[in-house]
Every structure is written in structure tokens, then in C-alpha cells.
A and B are shown apart, each in its own frame.
Chain A
Amino acid sequence: MIYLWAFLIGGAICVVGQVLMDIVKLTPAHTMSTLVVAGAIADAFGIYDPLVKFAGAGASVPITSFGYSLVHGALTELERDGWIGVVTGIFDITSAGISSAIVFSFLAALLVRPKG
């Protein structure tokens, strides 16, 4: 069942992105930034956590989950360490994503040329 919900929810979030690009005429960068902030706000209201439990990768793979992870990290550290946790915790959960993107992209640039 979770596979079905992953497909449906993941697809739906992408459709939101497509609408932002085609109808609101945002650029890809503007669209992704909007979705990230949307994910952050969703977690602020506590609705992204249940979405992840219910739709699995359908909620954790789209870029919205990046905003969710950033907020989650901040709030977890806030609870543990107080005010300073807001800045020390932001990249806790997203570290894997950002680090791997940087490292793999760097390696790719060493090995491969763009094909056009």
C-alpha cells in the first residue's frame, strides 16, 4: 500500500510544481524555492511528519522534504539545547543529501565532460 501512496503523493507534489512552472510561470529555481519553503511551513504546522509516515518516499523524495528536514533539525536541537539549537541543528538531517550531492557532483566533474 505504501508504494501506491508513494506514487500518488509524490506525483501530486510534482504536479503542484508543474502548475507553478506552467501557469504561474515561475522559473525552475523559483518553483523549487517555493516548494522548499512550503515543506518547511508544513512541518511548522506538524502536517509533514504524518505525511511521511503515510506516503513514505512519496513525501520524503520530493524537494519539499528538504524544507521539512531543515525545520525538523532546527526544532529537535531547539528542544535539546535551547535557543542556540535553532542554528546548530538546521543541517543535521539534510547533511546526507547536501554532502552526497557535493561529493558526487565534484567526482563527476573530475571524470566527465558535459555532452551538450
Chain B
Amino acid sequence: MPAKSNQSGINKRLDDMTSEEYKKLSKPYVPGRPVFKNCIRAFLIGGLICVIGQGIQSGFMSVFGMNSKEAASPTVALLILISVILTSLGVYDKIAQWAGAGSAVPVTGFANSMCSAALEHRSEGLVLGVGGNMFKLAGSVIVFGTVAAFLVGIVYALLGLGGSH
């Protein structure tokens, strides 16, 4: 049976089709990601989470008389607690489907990755399940951040910059 020609120009029998030809043939059928819409949503939610963080930081500064440096740690801790609560309520993943990077990039996304892994692997016990799997998703962030910081530190030490910058 003769093969018919088609809009992507691929005119091959299935038996002979190469990977490149199939990728070209299937491309028009694969819906693209709505990048612009996703970016707007990420911007809005990401910005909102940072505004909430700013509010929390200002709260710690005025209520406990901390300066901005001292207030940074409790602010992060509170945001992480909020994220863990939302993850435990089963809500964070629903927000994330809408917000994309807007909920993944803030530290709340980091907490969500750890909490969701801990919850999921509770079924394998506390030691191997929760303990062994908590960093399944967050591990790469910690590893790469630490390695990068180490390399920066070494470079600074070698260049005799001493740490001030």
C-alpha cells in the first residue's frame, strides 16, 4: 500500500521510520506548554509568597525588636512551617499545578519537597522510610549549594580575598 504524503513532509513507512522522522511527524500533535500563562502565574504567586515573607519578617522585627539579619532565620522557619502544614493538608500540590515555579522556587517549595517525601514514605517506617527518603527531592539542592559554596570559599581563600566582599 503506498504511503500518503502529509504536512510534516514525512513520507515513510512505519517500519522504516527513524527517530528524527517520528519526532518531526509527532511534533504538531504534541500540545506545547503555555509558557506565557505559566510565567504570569509564577510571577504572581512567587511575588505573593515573598510579600508574605516580608510581612512575617517585619512582624518579627517589630514584635521582638530584631534587626533584619536576626529576623531572617525565624521568617524562613515560619514559612517552612506554613508550607509543611499546606502540604500535610493536601493543598500544596493543587496550588503548585496552577503556580508552577511560583510555589516551587520560594523556600516553601523546598519544604514541600521534603515534607511530601516524608509523608509518602512513612509507609516504609520511620528509619528507612521517613529518614532515608526525606531528602529524595531536596537532596540535590543541598548538595549543589554546598559544593558551590565550598568552591567559592576555596577560590576566595586562594585569591587571598579573605572573605570580605
Q: Do chains A and B touch in the complex (CB under 8 A)?
A: yes
Binding site for B on A (CB under 8 A): 2-3, 6-23, 28-33, 35-37, 39-41, 43-46, 56-58, 60-67, 70-71, 73-80, 82-83, 85-87, 89-91, 93, 95-98, 100-102, 104-116
Instruction: Assess the A71–B122 pair: CB atoms within 8 A.
Output: no
Report which of B68, B90, B134, B149 forms a contact with A70, defined as CB distance below 8 A.
B149
Instruction: Assess the A17–B105 pair: CB atoms within 8 A.
Output: yes
Report which of B75, B118, B164 forms a contact with A60, defined as CB distance below 8 A.
B75
Residue with the highest number of chain A CB atoms closer than 10 Å, among B47, B50, B51? B50
Given known contacts A40-B152, A109-B118, A32 and B110 CB-to-CB distance under 8 angstroms: yes
Instruction: Assess the A63–B90 pair: CB atoms within 8 A.
Output: no
Given known contacts A18-B101, A106-B134, A6 and B50 CB-to-CB distance under 8 angstroms: yes
Residue with the highest number of chain A CB atoms closer than 10 Å, among B43, B56, B87, B89? B43
Binding site for A on B (CB under 8 A): 33, 35, 38-39, 42-57, 68, 72-77, 79-81, 84-85, 87-90, 100-102, 104-111, 113-122, 126, 130, 134, 137-138, 140-146, 148-150, 152-157, 162-165
Closest to A78 in B: B163
Q: Give the residues in chain A near B68, CB-CB below 8 Å.
A: 56
Q: Give the residues in chain B near A16, CB-CB below 8 Å.
A: 101
Show 6 A/B contacts (Cβ-Cβ < 8 Å), sorted by A.
A11-B47, A57-B51, A74-B153, A78-B153, A100-B80, A108-B115
Instruction: Assess the B46–A11 pair: CB atoms within 8 A.
Output: yes
Given known contacts A85-B163, A100-B76, A101-B111, A61 and B148 CB-to-CB distance under 8 angstroms: no
Apart from the given pairs A3-B55, A70-B149, A74-B153, 8 other A-B contacts in the complex at a CB distance below 8 Å: A6-B51, A11-B43, A15-B43, A22-B38, A37-B144, A87-B153, A96-B74, A105-B130
Instruction: Assess the B101–A14 pair: CB atoms within 8 A.
Output: yes
Instruction: Assess the B137–A75 pair: CB atoms within 8 A.
Output: no
